[in-house]
Amino acid sequence: MKRFWWIALWLALAPWSLAQRDPHIGYIYPAGGQQGTTFEIIVAGQNLNYITNAYVSGIGVQAVVPLYEPPLTPKQVDSLRERVQELRKKEKDPLVSKEIMEIRRKLVAFERRRLTPALADSIPVQISIAPNAAPGNRELRLASYGGLSNPLVFQVGQLPEFRKPEFKADDMPIVRRSGDGRSTNTNAPTTEITLPGTINGQILPGEVDRYRFKAHQGQQLVVAVSARELIPYLADAVPGWFQAKAVLYDAQGKELAYDDHYRFHPDPVLFYTIPKDGEYILEIKDSLYRGREDFVYRIAVGELPFIANVFPLGGRAGTQATVAIWGWNLPTDKYTFFLTGIDPGLYPFAFPNKGLLSNHVAFMVDTLPECFKKSPSNSPTNAQHLTLPIIVNGHIDQPGDVDVFRFNGRAGDKIVAEIYARRLDSPLDSVLKLTDADGKQLAFNDDFEDKGTGLNTHHADSYLTAMLPYSGAYYLYLWDAQQKGGWAYSYRLRLSAPRPDFELRAVPSSISARPGGTVPISVFALRRDGFTNAINVVLKGAPEGFKLSSGSLVGTQEQVKLTLTIPSKAPKTATNLTLEGRATVIGRELVHRAVPADDMMQAFAYRHLVPANELKVLVASPAPPRPPEPKVATATTTGSSTGPSVKIPSGGTVSYQVKLPTTDYTGKLQLELEEPPDGIAIKSFSTTRNSVEIVLQSVASKVKTGQKGELIVNVFSEKTNTRPSEIKPRTRLGTLPAIRYEIVTK
């Protein structure tokens, strides 16, 4: 009860603008835990002062946020430091030692607020993982009174957990230069661990962490680091990405194994067969000796199952597919997939051994006929003959090898050749070339961007399409762009007529809203094989009161902006929603879930749609009741049930009136169109007590008659009592219902 009394008091005193600042998670430490355990984690970031709940995706993991603890003042910090000096005189008492550690935790949090503003706030969260909770990556979010945080990776593991010793405020690293010019932490202790286990730690500037363990002759040791995987996206900033480097030494300090990445993955994995019984040391650091609190890592160490390769990389739906598996500590070299009743798509696959699951690899299921590449097939004279449509499972057998395939086509046929390799964890960097029977090149592709692959910056799989000029024989060439090869360089080649299809991404994955308000949602279409049919986006199985403005993606349109209307009675907890896209192709309905995602920018140039597990909506507690508001007419009575519909004359203006999302604001009101179509703008607006009249205008030379779409209007209040030289702070008040528009003749 005291907790809720404190929150209610703060809400009565704090301005709405403060409560509306969404929390942001910078890191979680430790970023996971073992099945069947209960422990405390620290979540750090910004705007974490008034957190009320924590959510972990999936089932089997419970998260509890303790009572809110206000940040320390400088005066309180001085008092705590004096208290530590007093307690050190009797530190041998266990209760006294516990109090010292708690004070040090508070002091470290205070120092963090000064040194790293992006990680200024931190809170403890109690985690309980059920014994049968599925191992793997989850997502953790925090909720405050008015906002929901971004999701961040939290891992459920199977191994005993070890932590690097707690960082103390007076134990800053001593950084010196070694003989080769590198910076090293000379006072870093070596932590004792036992195998198998998962190690948790953080790398601070110049720091090197070391762990000592005993191993026995013949053990197939696997060291798998998770670092970038835990914080897969980091905004452009100093010190930048954590580039982990792992080194294994014997007891005498001789280097035995080293890695700073695994294939094209940034996190390292070490494989080493222990030569004799004894002690060994594992070292982890940043490759450039950078560091910060969010350089968090987890290392799984032991005789663990690990899949290096599978072949083939997929199978045909409705059949049995036997694959060869090789790696470390695997009980068999073959596995059979039963694909009856399995829909086409990519599926994660892990292999168990002695109760432990291996790493996950991707396995692809398709509906087309399949075959294996035959050798030799490295020139037009011995090219493998194919009958379309077909999926070929093969390898680039050796460095510099080229695979050549021959097929017959008819004049006017359109064909697609697509490689699935890098997207299925193969190191192959493919290249495709299509020629006619005389060797004339008709199409060529090296890298093809697949926007559905999250943070990938090297789209190494190839894709080409061509209209065949005449009936006869054609040749398709496939090789590795880096002139590499081997058994691991496997691929799936799809050669067929176009199969138009689509995927959807719904952005953002975390939504914060007021009761009865509206919030914007962007839906991105990833169109396949020239798909141009209209995609209608709908809300599936939502709780009562949630409504999505009607909208569709037509032609080659890749993005549509919609608004989500929130129920006036707020649910007590965050709600998971599902969006679907529906389209009709040759009388057949395609239905695909819109994958939750976040639109991220990297290196000021690359935009990524980073997938998330859940689309989660948090509705703030109801605001105090207001007097009844008069009805406000819209420009027309047609269109979406959640917003107005207007007809904008080409080169002219139109006005409409709509209710404001709130009247509880101070300062100057501002309205802004969010990513408006070219040629459409807000000319002016005027307000009454609880509504706003907006005048939209269009530029005739930039719009087309019949053009349709949705407009999203965001509402802000700007502080006016500032000096002319100061930046005027503003507060977002909400979003108006989506405006369906059509350009008409003036």
CATH number at residue 704: 2.60.40
Looking at the chain, the whole-number percentage of residues with pLDDT higher than 70 is: 85
Mean pLDDT value across residues 249-256: 95
> Any idea which of 235-249, 275-289, 563-577 has the lowest mean pLDDT?
235-249
* Strand pairing class (269-273; 183-185): unpaired
Asked whether residue 720 is domain-assigned, the answer is yes
Look at residue 582 and tell me whether its pLDDT is greater than 60. Answer: yes
Strands in 361-366's sheet, in edge-to-edge order, are: 314-316, 361-366, 345-349
Look at residue 624 and tell me whether its pLDDT is greater than 70. Answer: no
Owner of token pair 């404190």: 6
> Any idea which of 112-116, 377-381, 491-495 has the lowest mean pLDDT?
112-116
What was the pLDDT predicted at 143?
A: 93
Asked whether residue 379 is domain-assigned, the answer is yes
Domain that holds residue 667: 645-744
H or E stretch covering 137: strand 136-144
Look at residue 641 and tell me whether its pLDDT is greater than 50. Answer: no
Largest Cα–Cα distance of the chain, in whole Å? 93
From the number of C-beta atoms within 10 Å of its C-beta (0-12, 13-18, 19+), residue 117 rates as exposed
151 and 165 belong to one structural domain:
no
What was the pLDDT predicted at 726?
A: 55
Q: How many residues does the chain have?
A: 746
What was the pLDDT predicted at 91?
A: 62
568 and 717 belong to one structural domain:
no
What was the pLDDT predicted at 11?
A: 37
* Strand pairing class (653-659; 691-698): antiparallel
pLDDT band at 643 (very low <50, low <70, confident <90, very high): low
What was the pLDDT predicted at 663?
A: 66
Mean pLDDT value across residues 641-652: 77
What was the pLDDT predicted at 235?
A: 54
More confident residue, 145 or 487: 487
What was the pLDDT predicted at 3?
A: 41
Asked whether residue 632 is domain-assigned, the answer is no
What was the pLDDT predicted at 171?
A: 45
Mean pLDDT value across residues 372-385: 95
593 and 712 belong to one structural domain:
no
What was the pLDDT predicted at 84?
A: 81
Rounded Cα–Cα distance for residues 656 and 28 (Å): 47
> Any idea which of 93-102, 217-226, 536-545 has the lowest mean pLDDT?
93-102
- Partners of residue 273 on adjacent β-strands: 220
489 and 573 belong to one structural domain:
no
36 and 138 belong to one structural domain:
yes
Mean pLDDT value across residues 475-485: 97
Alpha helices in 145-245 (DSSP H): none
356 and 457 belong to one structural domain:
no
Give the number of domains in the chain.
Answer: 6
More confident residue, 293 or 465: 465
What was the pLDDT predicted at 4?
A: 39
Mean pLDDT value across residues 291-308: 95
Rounded Cα–Cα distance for residues 91 and 104 (Å): 13
491 and 429 belong to one structural domain:
yes
661 and 704 belong to one structural domain:
yes
pTM: 0.81
Identity at 192, one-letter amino acid code: E
62 and 4 belong to one structural domain:
yes
Mean pLDDT value across residues 101-122: 73
What was the pLDDT predicted at 730?
A: 73
pLDDT tens digits, 322-345: 999 999 999 999 999 999 999 999
DSSP state of 706: T
Contacts of 238 (CB under 8 A, 6+ apart): none
pLDDT band at 731 (very low <50, low <70, confident <90, very high): confident
The sign one gets for the Cα dihedral 193, 197, 203, 207 is positive
pLDDT tens digits, 62-84: 999 987 666 677 788 888 888 88
Look at residue 644 and tell me whether its pLDDT is greater than 90. Answer: no
What was the pLDDT predicted at 325?
A: 95
What Å distances lie between residue 475 and 393, 428, 438, CA to CA?
17, 21, 9
What was the pLDDT predicted at 710?
A: 82
> Any idea which of 136-150, 209-223, 229-243, 466-480 has the lowest mean pLDDT?
229-243
Instruction: Name the domain boundary from 254, 273, 304.
Output: 304
412 and 453 belong to one structural domain:
yes
509 and 491 belong to one structural domain:
no
Q: How far apart are the first and last CA of the chain?
A: 63
* CATH code (residue 210): 2.60.120.380
From the number of C-beta atoms within 10 Å of its C-beta (0-12, 13-18, 19+), residue 577 rates as buried
488 and 576 belong to one structural domain:
no
Instruction: Name the domain boundary from 583, 602, 619.
Output: 619
Identity at 489, one-letter amino acid code: Y
Asked whether residue 151 is domain-assigned, the answer is yes
Rounded Cα–Cα distance for residues 370 and 377 (Å): 17
pLDDT band at 92 (very low <50, low <70, confident <90, very high): low
Mean pLDDT value across residues 627-636: 39
HSE-CB for 660 with a 13 A CA cutoff? 21
pLDDT tens digits, 156-175: 999 999 998 755 434 444 44
Cite the beta strand spans of 497-554 per DSSP E: 501-507, 510-513, 518-528, 535-540, 547-548, 551-553
More confident residue, 80 or 639: 80
> Any idea which of 166-170, 358-362, 736-740 has the lowest mean pLDDT?
166-170
The mean pLDDT of the chain is: 86
Rounded Cα–Cα distance for residues 346 and 315 (Å): 11
Rounded Cα–Cα distance for residues 323 and 303 (Å): 23
Asked whether residue 532 is domain-assigned, the answer is yes
Asked whether residue 636 is domain-assigned, the answer is no
Instruction: Name the domain boundary from 366, 388, 406.
Output: 366
What was the pLDDT predicted at 639?
A: 35
Report, in angstroms and rounded to the nearest whole number, the Rg of the chain calculated over CA atoms. 29
Asked whether residue 8 is domain-assigned, the answer is yes
What was the pLDDT predicted at 455?
A: 76
For 382, list phi and psi in degrees, rounded to 5: -120, 25
H or E stretch covering 125: strand 121-129
Going by C-alpha positions, the residue among 139, 60, 155, 58 that lies closest to residue 612 is 139
pLDDT band at 623 (very low <50, low <70, confident <90, very high): very low
Asked whether residue 639 is domain-assigned, the answer is no
